[in-house]
Structure 1
Amino acid sequence: MRLALPLLLLVMTNLSPAQTATPPVAKKEPKTTEINGHTLTDNYYWLRDKPNPEVRAYLEAENVYTDSVMKPTEPLQKKLYDEMLGRIKETDVDVPYPQDGYFYYSRTEAGKQYAIRCRKKGSLDAPEQVVIDVNELAKGKKFMSLAEFEPSDDGNLLAYSTDSTGFRQYDLYVRDMRTGQDLPDHIAKTGSIAWANDNKTIFYTVEDSAKRQYRVYKHTVGNTGADDLIYEEKDERYDVYVWKSRSKGYIFLSSASHTTSEAKYIRADQPNAEWKLIEPRKQDVKYTPDHNGKFFYLTVNDTGVNYRLVKTPVDNPGKAHWQEVIPQRAETMLNRAEFFKDFYVLHTREKGLPLLRVVDITSGKSKDITFPEPAYNTMSYMNADYDTKKFRYMYTSFITPVSTYEYDVTTGESKLLKQREVPNYDGTKYKVEQLYAPARDGEKVPVSVLYAKTTKLDGKEPLYLYAYGSYGASIDINFNSNFFSLADRGVVVAIAHIRGGGEMGKAWHNAGRMMNKKNTFNDFIDSAEYLLKNNYGTKDKLVIEGRSAGGLLMGAVLNMRPDLFHAAIVGVPFVDVINTMLDESLPLTVGEFEEWGNPKEKAAFDYMYSYSPYDNIDAKPYPNMLVKTSFNDSQVMYWEPAKYVAKMRALRKDDHLVILKTNLSPAGHGGSSGRYDRIHEFAFDYAFILTQMGINE
């Protein structure tokens, strides 16, 4: 029987303490879909109707129930919040970086949610100029995200973009940095941007109704009329991007799908020139260009999945003129190459770890930047200037806070510029291990582990296991001070680098996508069993977590092996695989046919249907679950986790906990935008994790 909306609201607003312990029951309105010989029945399709007040009322009812269940943990949440905040230096400043005669940097102030972007002219001793105070942008708003931040070459203007809803819709503005005032220029729903060398022309991309960046426009600062359309990508699998080379010689326009790309270019000092194509797209061939001197340099996968580096003349860059600089190597993934005037830096991966190699362009001689720990992460810092002998990079690990180094290309030495200060932290108290769990087909899955040295690995410990495993994304070993709130309570923290991710190169990704996707789920299960077998924890206290595509992982393994796990956090989860991938109007769907498959094709449908979490919920016991979403999430729509919870409650055969927490304020795929708001969210999650492990303080 359908409950009238006013009565439903009345029920929700007059709940007694006893009643709040009863979860809401979502109504059923069956919708059927005929596809590939199957009849799919979705009882909760109505939850997609975002403007319907009944939808919001149901989500609010779920929040009331969740808050009731979690209320006894509020003292623990407060304690965790204080701990997490206590490991953050609230007033701090990042390492300034040089760009076109200025030093730019970001700083934070205690009590303020957002960063303040500043610069100094010519010297670090010069007066500070506040360029953008994101706290000011956020006044009167519950969400604020600063995306693009691109100064013009003369340092007078700034093109920047912001999102105030969490839906990843960015508005482009132009600020006169001499006055601090925004100009009338305002363009909605933008993506990437690039300045021409005339300091007045901006190339930018915009999104379509499915949030695909599909058009490139040319804008002249001050123009309030229509901008010139430069390019429109008709193939819905492809997104477009624009950027300017560090050399300031060229502007590139790339059109890329998950598997294929092509790029065009113009000279950056000729914004009205005709765009020229480097090499036409060819299915399953991707390349990314950069510029140095008389050559374009391309990282390209035409001879192997791990990419090679080639160079080609700028005046005739087609494939017939490509000259191999570094061949494709089976053991080494070439992620990218960064070019400077006299050298370039190779970003590669070997044995699951990122590496940096600096190469002299003239001689070809190279030097590796070495790192001291067995598990770590490294990446470029801000290297805006082209004519330099210095390269800045960041280094971090489970126990090493983010550290910014400057590498001297001439001497081959690295200088520590700053290590982020972490109050109330002693890294000597913890141990890090890099393990390799045997998968059922013989592969070795890297697993990174952190725990306190006082923890006894006797098979009785609480164990927290996280993974992602999609899109070739690498979950590297970064410093996360929140982890110590787990480790200090005896929890073993582990991250499994399962197939579908990129930790072991492109082949590792390919082995966990499309018709190989189940390897991702099997790797996670096998990693969990390996940790339990080797006394890193007990399954009675094993809590797992995954978010987004990692939420798909959670849904799949909970269906496959509900007996193996005690509890799970299923964050912003992509769990309704078939229905979502059948709806080409949704963001990401068409482009991701090359990650998951197209369910309109029977073979793909049968395989995807066999693991889709929403479609495989069964009448059996499941672990305890906390499912999380944001009402304004644009990457995984809120209704996927909402439908998942409703169906799970209707079918599962146990009295275990399943709670749904929806951020109904403006928030995005990653939750709230303010740093203090995010800490509150982490404290909530950690309180769930710890209490599920039997730890209440």
Structure 2
Amino acid sequence: MTTESTAVPSPAVSPAPPVAAARPIVRSHHGDDVEDRYEWLRAKDDAEVVAHLEAENAYTDARLAHLEPLRETLFQEIKGRVRETDLTVPVRQGGWWYYGRSIEGRQYGLQCRAPLADADDWTPPRLEADVPVPGEQVLLDGNVEADGHEYFSLGAFSVTTDGSRMLWGVDTAGDERYTVRIRDIATGEELPDVLEGVGGGARFTPDGAYVVYSTVDDAWRPDGVWLHRVGEPGRDGDVEIAHEDDESFWIGAGFTRSRRYLAIESASNTTSEIDLIAVADLPLLIEDPDAVDSLTVWDRSAGVEYSVDHAVIDGRDWIYVLHNQGALDFELVRLPADDEDAEPETIIPHTPGTRLESVDCLRDFAIVEYRSDGIPRVGILDYTTHEVREVAFDEPLYDAGSGGNPEWAQPVVRLSYGSFTTPGAVYDYVVDTGELRELKRVEVRGGYDAADYAQERLWVPAADGTAIPVSLVWRRSFGEPGAEPRPLHLYGYGSYEHSIDPGFSYARLSELDRGVVFAVAHVRGGGELGRAWYEHGKLSRKRNSFTDFVDVARHLVAHGFTTPERMVAEGGSAGGLLMGAVANLAPELFAGILADVPFVDALTTILDPSLPLTVIEWEEWGDPLHDAEVYAYMKSYTPYENVRDDVAYPRVLAMTSLNDTRVFYVEPAKWVARLREVGADALLRCEMVAGHGGVSGRYNAWRERAFQLAWMLDVMGVDA
């Protein structure tokens, strides 16, 4: 074990940074003229832009060359903790157990299956990675699919109910547009079906005769749902069975758990509408898209969100609806499928502070996922009594959820569980008995002992009196946090009602074992404390996310957890906007800022409805194009707009990807150029073949995280 040094090292001597040419473009809105010197960097295919990004990468490599030994050490530590040759816990579907394999030295996993030995046995076989599995079939080898490509992402994988055919969708650019193919599993023959340029999540219909998929428009908005007859080449004969014209809505489709209905959902960030089509009627749509009437569960109404599933109880069909109409944290009701005029029956009433998140209806019970006291929870709903039995876990901080439950009639519920200190585990919960069976726990090699680490939650007062939850984890041998200042890594997100839950991380151990305290500031705008927590950190209240993070950082310094010279902040995507904002608000609090695919030029993006996802995003940030007050408010906090020349900025590392369709590379590229204008030590790393999620392949991902960790440890002054 190593400890941190007491002095913060200065950045390595380096060549001069690349200088982006200043080519002013004037942006005019609501009587406000803004001169943008670096907007020309948006021309992705321009050779000068590409050359500038490559120069930025070369400069970053030169500046951080002294960290290469540490990066290699960290990579080997991460790799050394992982059992590289392993199998996932099998999931039962039809007559097969489906599972994934990982093999030492290979970047990507294998999709496999083995035959079911006993139709009455729901206990998955315990498979050993080094023992052959009887009857195993390798359905898809990601390494074969990725051969010859720098980037590979599997965006769809589906097997027919009878197990005879499979489909898979591949993206080799990082732009989240996939090519779907179909294979006969028994013969290995690829069918003529090649569906290009489709969205993620393509799937077979229950009878395997058709494929349902979505497409996206030029702004990368999912706008259409299509039906493809298996065996037909290409998409020429496919039928668009639903289209969403409203640019503020996206559309998608999936089957109810019963496989009786196709649910087509149109939704914005605040409003949804779902149509149900009987699966038995889908073949008619190929001949005539207007031949089938769909059932609209509820017409769209501004601000009303809902999701649905289907159950059969005592022979009657019911539609279960999880909604927020007059119920801020959602309630669950049900409607008879054969009576459109019936009044909804309340099943789980609205309880303020308990955010209902999802309901999955199986044959004999429903799985309910919800959140209370900032912790995700799972319960089992009894169809007769309407009671919810919560699955109990012992730790005060944890992350739990359901997954791997494809069969409608299964008597068990597959659960995942983990915490900051407990490696991820997979359980089966036996509904009849309440027994929780541990099927597998992630192996952490190298002598990991959970007792060596501790976690807790603090409640930090914000300036307006709101208590902000902060989750901490540390290694016990370095003492309790707050006993003396320690290097501290503070993470935040705070948008889209997305919660950052306390899950386990192999890579994080490398920080903790060097004395770093890891903390998550659960700022407003996230979903940790229910819908109100989200509402109070969006639109005209967005600044709360930023000030919450700053207040947490100040509290940690004031109470002796750390010092500004030893604290690094990190956030990605919308959390990258958070990073840019807090760097402007309180640069003196941080030694470094790691911003991953950061949304730091938000105003420019949200002003342009032709850009991907912009119109949809107006419900999260506001519409500055048509509303002068929104424009002024966003301009007051957008990081690129508010870089200051009167402060000393912390060191900045911005990570981005050239093919990211969610946050364009140009945002961090412009931000870094602007930061350098005011003397900031800012670095940019742009992956030239990757998307929003960064590089593909597990070894590549571990190296990327080692790169980031080495930079953060260096900034915190940790002696590796």
TM-score, length-scaled by structure 2: 0.92
Compute the displacement of 1:19 (Å): 9.7
SS of aligned partner of 1:454: helix
Aligned pair 1:484/2:509, yes or no? yes
Aligned residue runs from structure 1 range 289-300, under 5 A: 289-293=308-312, 294-300=317-323
Match of 2:27 in 1: 33
The farther-off stretch of 419-428 and 589-598 is 419-428
1:101-122, Cα deviation, whole Å (9 max, x unpaired) = 1110011000000010001122
Compute the displacement of 1:270 (Å): 2.1
Match of 1:551 in 2: 576
Aligned residue runs from structure 1 range 423-572, under 5 A: 423-424=445-446, 425-456=448-479, 457=481, 458-572=483-597
1:424-464, Cα deviation, whole Å (9 max, x unpaired) = 12211111111111111111111110111012333421111
Which one-letter code corresponds to 2:219 in the other structure? A
Residues of 2 paired with 1:537 and 1:19: CA distance? 27
Match of 2:644 in 1: 618
SS of aligned partner of 1:405: strand
Residues of 1 paired with 2:356 and 2:383: CA distance? 17
Residues of 2 paired with 1:696 and 1:63: CA distance? 25
Aligned pair 1:382/2:407, yes or no? no
Compute the displacement of 1:158 (Å): 1.7
Aligned pair 1:211/2:207, yes or no? no
Match of 1:350 in 2: 372
Residues of 2 paired with 1:521 and 1:366: CA distance? 37
Root-mean-square deviation (CA), in Å? 1.4
Match of 1:339 in 2: 361
Match of 2:685 in 1: 661
Compute the displacement of 1:196 (Å): 2.6
Residues of 2 paired with 1:548 and 1:365: CA distance? 39
Residues of 2 paired with 1:202 and 1:61: CA distance? 45
Aligned pair 1:671/2:690, yes or no? no
Residues of 1 paired with 2:347 and 2:665: CA distance? 47
Residues of 2 paired with 1:565 and 1:232: CA distance? 48
Residues of 2 paired with 1:170 and 1:445: CA distance? 40
1:254 to 257, 260, 265: 265
Match of 1:316 in 2: 339
Compute the displacement of 1:148 (Å): 1.6
Match of 2:289 in 1: none
Match of 2:188 in 1: 180
Aligned pair 1:152/2:154, yes or no? no
Aligned pair 1:329/2:351, yes or no? yes
1:519-552, Cα deviation, whole Å (9 max, x unpaired) = 0001101111122222221111110101100000
Match of 1:23 in 2: 17
1:320-367, Cα deviation, whole Å (9 max, x unpaired) = 532111111102000011111111111010010011111221233432
Which one-letter code corresponds to 1:193 in the other structure? A
Alignment length (residue pairs): 675
Identity %: 40
Residues of 1 paired with 2:189 and 2:676: CA distance? 53
SS of aligned partner of 2:577: helix
Aligned residue runs from structure 1 range 555-594, under 5 A: 555-594=580-619
Residues of 2 paired with 1:195 and 1:79: CA distance? 45
Match of 1:7 in 2: none
Residues of 2 paired with 1:367 and 1:264: CA distance? 30
Compute the displacement of 1:562 (Å): 0.7
Q: Larger relative CO (CA 8 A, sep 6+): 1 or 2?
A: 2
Maintained 8 Å contact 1:291/1:297? yes
Residues of 2 paired with 1:120 and 1:388: CA distance? 18
Maintained 8 Å contact 2:169/2:202? no
Residues of 2 paired with 1:347 and 1:237: CA distance? 28
Maintained 8 Å contact 1:88/1:422? yes
Maintained 8 Å contact 2:319/2:336? yes
TM-score, length-scaled by structure 1: 0.95
Match of 2:287 in 1: none
Superposed structure 1 runs of 4+ greater than 4 Å apart: none
The farther-off stretch of 261-270 and 172-181 is 172-181
Match of 2:250 in 1: 239
Gap runs ≥5 in structure 2: 1-11, 118-124, 126-132, 285-291
Compute the displacement of 1:375 (Å): 0.9
Maintained 8 Å contact 1:73/1:696? no
Maintained 8 Å contact 1:97/1:383? yes
1:350-395, Cα deviation, whole Å (9 max, x unpaired) = 0100111112212334321111111110011200111121011000
Which one-letter code corresponds to 1:536 in the other structure? F
Match of 2:139 in 1: 131
Residues of 1 paired with 2:347 and 2:409: CA distance? 22
Compute the displacement of 1:195 (Å): 2.9
CA shift in 2, pair 1:54/1:19, >3 Å: farther
SS of aligned partner of 1:197: coil
Aligned residue runs from structure 1 range 409-428, under 5 A: 409-424=431-446, 425-428=448-451
1:608-644, Cα deviation, whole Å (9 max, x unpaired) = 0100100001213111111111111111000000000
Aligned pair 1:51/2:51, yes or no? no
Maintained 8 Å contact 2:157/2:203? no
